[in-house]
Structure 1
Amino acid sequence: MAGMGHDVVDYLQFEEQLNLAGSRFERLFSRREIAQCHARSAESGDSYAQHLAARWAGKEAFLKAWSHALAPSCDMPYAIEYFPWESIEIMSDAVHRPSLIISDDVVKRVYDSVGNDVRFHISLSHDGTVASAVVIIERSV
């Protein structure tokens, strides 16, 4: 394993931030992520924000896993305020298994910083008002 990250989001607080007047929070997600969260919400009868919050936790977990993989140097290729959140896409397949789809420029930075022999794994979950995600960056053998 090269790195592991975990994040937890209270989706009710997330939903409040999402609904604030002038909020740009939704811009941190791709159109495909937003569409998939709306579709999943309609299918399951639960909150759109709940599904989006799980993806937000996944993006945060990815950043933490990458930081862990860089230790002990911790020299991140991006300053946190310039991290390209929308370039880290989390999409689910037909049976709701999530996967990370990372833009080519971000993948190049990951490879340049931790090596190009890595694979990415993600798990999302939500229960009650909590959304959670774990990301593992695994070195290929």
Structure 2
Amino acid sequence: MKVVRQTRQRQAVLEVLRSTRTHPDAAWVFQEVRRAMPNISLGTVYRSLDALASEGVVMVIERAGERARYDYRHEDHHHVVCRGCGAIFDVPPSLTPPLPSDLPSGFRVTEVVLEYHGLCEKCQQEH
């Protein structure tokens, strides 16, 4: 893990991510950071997010055909994704199934990425 210099801009980006339970994209983070730092550029926010992700401070949620989203939560968790509005919600690991017992011999799991897809309450009401 590469250690990156902590700047005021990175600190502001990090504070925005810490303050939300949503999984925002860079544009949303940019708008929120601009409230405290009106002169910050979108490029600086992207570079800050990249640096924080490379340090392992934030997790990047990448889905094909969609903008990257960012998650500050460090504890193990999975996600529920709304197919209507794209909202991402956290699911505690206690609600996820155990690993299959028939994994190949000698295989060591180093990461589990699990997403549930469906419609959030708001989108269900709209459909």
**Do Structure 1 and Structure 2 share a fold, with TM-score over 0.5?**
no
Counting strand residues as a fraction of each chain, which structure ranks higher? 1
With normalisation by structure 2, the TM-score equals: 0.30
**Greater Rg, structure 1 or structure 2?**
2
With normalisation by structure 1, the TM-score equals: 0.28
Counting helix residues as a fraction of each chain, which structure ranks higher? 1
